[in-house]
Structure 1
Amino acid sequence: MTTPTQQLSEQGVSIWLDDLSRQRITTGNLVDLIAHRNVVGVTTNPTIFANAVAHGDGYEQQVAELAAKGASADDAIFEITTTDVRNACEIFAPVYEATTGQDGRVSIEVSPDLAHDTQATIDQAAQLWSTVDRPNAFIKIPATKAGLPAITETIAAGISVNVTLIFSLARYAEVIDAYLTGLQKAQAAGHDLAQIHSVASFFVSRVDTEVDKRLAAIGTDAAAALKSKAGVANARLAYELYEKEFGSDRAKALLDAGATVQRPLWASTGVKDPSLPDTLYVTELVAPGTVNTMPEKTLEAVFDHGEIGGDAVTGAYADAHGVIDGLAAVGVDFDDVTQVLEDEGVEKFITSWHELQETVAQALTSAGGAR
């Protein structure tokens, strides 16, 4: 009897865990999730590392060594996080080989403080890539306006990229363009396009959180009927856009030259409204060639009671357009929603980054080093 996570994999959905810590690496937890939960990748972000370092075991020896060298908090963060990602890449290497580079991926994010600085993002992306030094790493770059040219230049340098914090279809179209432009530049520079991979992380649950707050304020029956429908609808329309853009002559020329598509990745798939099914953002977004990155709680819910049907996306475009049109009709400015979410997303990661800096600075001080 197959499990729901197996069924999800069979439908062409790659399951990635949205979490990483040294404990997961050293205890065999990651190996177990690969074997028993069909996990084929890992994503990280500043919040995840802040929690791992603040509450996890296993960092004491490295922190003490860094303190003895007089490392700054930022230098220590760089060493700690790249060590975790490199070691996780080693664990996922067999998956990477078995899927010819599509999965077995571990993502590490550039500092959120650089979200609005194109050149600094490009520079740190290259530094992270060379330091992790594993072909199955992904460098995460946020899809801010400043991030778009950084995505292009990083791809052009032959570095694989996970584009994060995408909320709107308009920005997603720009992300796809940035990827294709990067591939064209990489091709001109003589890079092997088959070695360059990318995913585009489209956020889901946060859309419902913001839209539902606005619908509740409107307070009409028509508004209430749209509750908790925006996130899935927006993601489904992202997949429609993905199909269109990667079916273009421009994309086909690159694919014929050995390039790979930039797969849509569903992020923020933990359900935040307790009145909703806890597997909602997994079961309603099943589509071939996608990634769903899940917090462990969501992963376990899917494994326990997820009902996985077939493709839940490509036949639902008309309904999805209807939801977005309905939001406009009741007075929800969806462009404003997605801009607010992008701004908040960057700020939340900056806050987590500063918390991580403070946690590491305190650990260095306790271990006898300078701040």
Structure 2
Amino acid sequence: MTAEDTGNRHTKELSDLGVSIWLDDMSRERLNSGSLAKLIDSHHVVGVTTNPTIFEAAVNSGDAYEQALSQLASRGADAEQAVFEITTSDVRDACDLFAGVYSATNGVDGRVSIEVDPRLARDAEATIEEAKRLYKAVDRENVMIKIPATVEGIEAIAAVLAEGISVNVTLVFSLERYRAVINAFMLGLEKAHADGLDISKIHSVASFFVSRVDTEVDHRLELAAEEGRPSTEKLKSRAAIANARLAHQIATESFSSERWLLLAERGGQPQRLLLASTGTKDPNLSDTLYVTELAAAGVVNTMPEKTLNSLAEQGEVEGDTMTDTYVDSNRVLDGVSAAGIDYRDVVETLEREGLEKFDKSWQGLLSTIDEGLKRNS
């Protein structure tokens, strides 16, 4: 059996279970070389997510953007304009690549996500306007606009969905915030329906971040152990999976509620739980831990290529590993709390750091593009 056959078998098993495999990476080089198209065929990839960090890395590697930079420089574009045109162009091309998947799945998959400027994360009105601007610029039905799940972002999420624009809600860490995201999703569909829109065309995912929770909680557990607090070792590297499994419980309950069933009768498609940040940070953990332990029908798992390749080579999919795990998951989070770890402070820290990281990447992207424009002027 070849490596590719093995890859097909393992990724097919996950896909057959009902998990949508999305790639958490995109670049012009990946589009031009055909490597993304190959992953669609060989690894059952049915969508792509992007973020400022991904775009910064893409522009900084190789010379795939030199021609575009030269053309933009000749038109007198500044860095802000160039970033907008480059990112929306890449996403548009990726949307075209996934058009067949989009059609075959009736709009469920074949999705490509692009994020609003992270500097707007605390400004609801500016986020709404930027989301509409991105949607118009990409001009493809299968684009999803990524909006961070900040307090201000919750308002923007509902408003953008009400415009008929599909949304990928990003940077969700806490169960409480996830409930607010689902409420905003339903509010958006209710408003869209009241305004006469066809809500069957509006899709959404909620990107619930995984590995970063373990990174933060495990660090705090180590500090607790140094202080002599008992029962911390058995909790190591368990909080993230427990947190995500309880998010699955919330989704299951929310999308069987009377409120949702009424929207479903009107054509509404449920917002899917998307598992993000699924590459393991701890080298002692399995590369596929946050894939095989978080498998269930109807969820999305967006993976960096390293994780996807590990799944293809050695990932053993053992069926649904989320449903019926909720009691044990609550015990894990209760144990974390008993060890003196403040869950609310953990998730607030992760949201703040996530925004700071994307903002830093955005600034780095602007700087790189500015240098490229000057080099080509």
TM-score range, shorter chain: over 0.9
Q: Deviations over 1:190-221 (max 9, x none)?
A: 11011000000000000000000000000045
Q: Which residue of 1 aligns with 2:91?
A: 85
Counterpart position of 2:258: 249
Choose from 43, 50, 60 the match for 1:44. Answer: 50
Secondary structure in 2 matching 1:3: helix
Q: Deviations over 1:259-302 (max 9, x none)?
A: 10000000000000000011000000001100000000000000
Q: How does 1:170-185 map to 2 (within 5 A)?
A: 170-185=176-191
Instruction: Give, in whole Å, the separation in 2 of the partners of 1:173 and 1:198.
Output: 14
Match for residue 4 of structure 1 among 7, 10, 16:
10
* 2:323 maps to 1:314: yes
| Percent identity over paired residues | 55
SS at the partner of 2:13? Answer: helix
Deviates more, 1:2-11 or 1:353-362: 2-11
Q: In the alignment, what sits opposite 1:262?
A: 271
> For residues 3-37 of structure 1, what are the alpha-carbon distances to aligned partners after superposition, in whole Å with 9 as ceiling and x for unaligned?
11000000100000000000111111111000001
1:364 to 335, 352, 373: 373
- For 1:217-256, what aligned pairs fall within 5 Å after superposition? 217-219=223-225, 220-256=229-265
| Cα shift at 1:56 | 3.3
- CA distance in 1: counterparts of 2:60 and 2:265, whole angstroms: 47
Q: Secondary structure at the match of 2:146?
A: strand
Q: TM-score with structure 2 length normalisation?
A: 0.97
One-letter amino acid of the counterpart of residue 74, structure 1: E
1:35-90 CA-to-partner distances (Å, cap 9, x unmatched) read 00100000000000000001133211111111111111010000000000000000
What is the match of residue 360 of structure 2? 351
- Counterpart in the other structure of 1:142: 148
Q: For residues 154-233 of structure 1, what are the structure 2 equivalents within 5 Å?
A: 154-219=160-225, 220-233=229-242
Contact persistence 1:215–1:332 (CA under 8 A): yes
Instruction: State the partner residue of 1:291.
Output: 300
8 Å contact kept, 1:115–1:142: yes
Question: Secondary structure at the residue paired with 2:169?
Answer: strand
Q: Could you tell me whether the CA contact under 8 Å between 2:43 and 2:312 is conserved in 1?
A: yes
Could you list the per-position Cα deviations for residues 304-348 of structure 1 after superposition, in whole angstroms to 9, with x for gaps in the alignment? Answer: 000101100012111100000001111111111000000110110
| Corresponding residue number in structure 1 for 2:338 | 329
Per-residue CA deviations over 1:177-200 (Å, capped at 9, x if unaligned) read 000000000001111011000000
Match of 2:288 in 1: 279
After superposing on structure 2, the runs of 4+ consecutive aligned residues of structure 1 that deviate more than 6 Å are none
Distance in 1, Cα, partners of 2:147 & 2:267: 23
State how far apart, in whole Å, the 2-side matches of 1:144 and 1:72 are. Answer: 29
Instruction: Find the partner of 1:76 among 82, 105, 123.
Output: 82
Q: SS in structure 2 opposite 1:200?
A: strand
1: CA distance, partners of 2:173 / 2:215:
13
CA contact (8 A) 2:119 2:359 kept: yes
Q: Is the 8 Å Cα contact of residues 230 and 339 (structure 2) preserved in structure 1? A: no
Contact 1:22 1:56 in 2 (8 A): no
Question: Does the 8 Å contact 1:270/1:281 carry over to 2?
Answer: yes
C-alpha distance in structure 2 between counterparts of 1:18 and 1:187, whole Å: 32
Counterpart CA distance in 2 for 1:123 and 1:226 is: 43
Q: Which residue of 1 aligns with 2:26?
A: 20
Q: Which letter maps to 1:323? A: V
Q: Secondary structure at the match of 2:40?
A: helix
**CA distance in 1: counterparts of 2:76 and 2:308, whole angstroms:** 40
CA contact (8 A) 1:143 1:171 kept: yes
Which residue number corresponds to residue 62 of structure 1?
68
In 2, Cα distance between the equivalents of 1:70 and 1:221? Answer: 63
Structure 2 gap ranges (5+): none
Q: TM-score scaled by structure 1?
A: 0.98
Q: Secondary structure at the match of 2:190?
A: helix
Give the letter aligned to residue 40 of structure 1. Answer: V
Q: Which of residues 124, 131, 139 in structure 2 aligns to 1:133?
A: 139
- Picking from 303, 309, 313, the partner of 1:300 is 309
Instruction: Give the equivalent residue in structure 2 for 1:32.
Output: 38
| Gapped regions of structure 1 (runs ≥ 5) | none
Which position in structure 2 is the counterpart of 1:341? Answer: 350
Aligned equivalents of 1:146, 1:335: Cα separation in 2: 18
Asked whether the equivalents of residues 279 and 306 of structure 1 are also in contact (C-alpha less than 8 Å), the reply is: yes
Q: d(CA) in 2 for partners of 1:365 and 1:224?
A: 53
